[in-house]
Amino acid sequence: MDCDFNESIGWQIYNARVLMKNKLHRKLKEFEITAEQWSVLRILHMKEGYNQKELAERCLKDRAALTRILDILEKKELIERKTSPTDRREYLIYITDKGHKLYDEILPIMLKNTEENMVKFSNEEVEKLQYLLKKLISNLE
């Protein structure tokens, strides 16, 4: 059986992800932040105080990759690690005032970027795509 992998769902999702990520990197360049760093800030902006294990799970990153991202964000003074009050071996991650300010600057750009990515889709198509992707994800978990 002959199969064109360029037409496979997996390849098309991967291709869309790479194109979207590259576009996002170009938009974030002026803020000296990567898409990966943004994803951590976004999650911390919604809820602070995750430990590194929880944050890695929320960001879909392995612990080593997240540690590198956190080190960079900490050097930029966008996040801070605080010792857990219940376990001195554990650190909880918080976004700083500088991090909140950067988040607020970037958010309109992110919203516009999402809008641009979906410009050729109707609202119904976006909803259907979201539904189908959630269904695919649940099938893979």
* CATH number, position 105: 1.10.10.10
Residue span of the structural domain in which 104 resides? 5-140
C-alpha angle 125-127-129 in degrees, rounded to nearest 5: 65
Q: Is 74 within 8 Å of 80 (Cβ atoms)? A: yes
pLDDT in tens, the chain (141 residues): 556 767 788 899 999 999 999 999 999 999 999 999 999 999 999 999 999 999 999 999 998 999 999 999 999 999 999 998 888 888 999 999 999 999 999 999 999 999 999 999 999 999 999 999 999 999 998
Q: Is 91 within 8 Å of 51 (Cβ atoms)? A: yes
Overall number of domains in the chain: 1
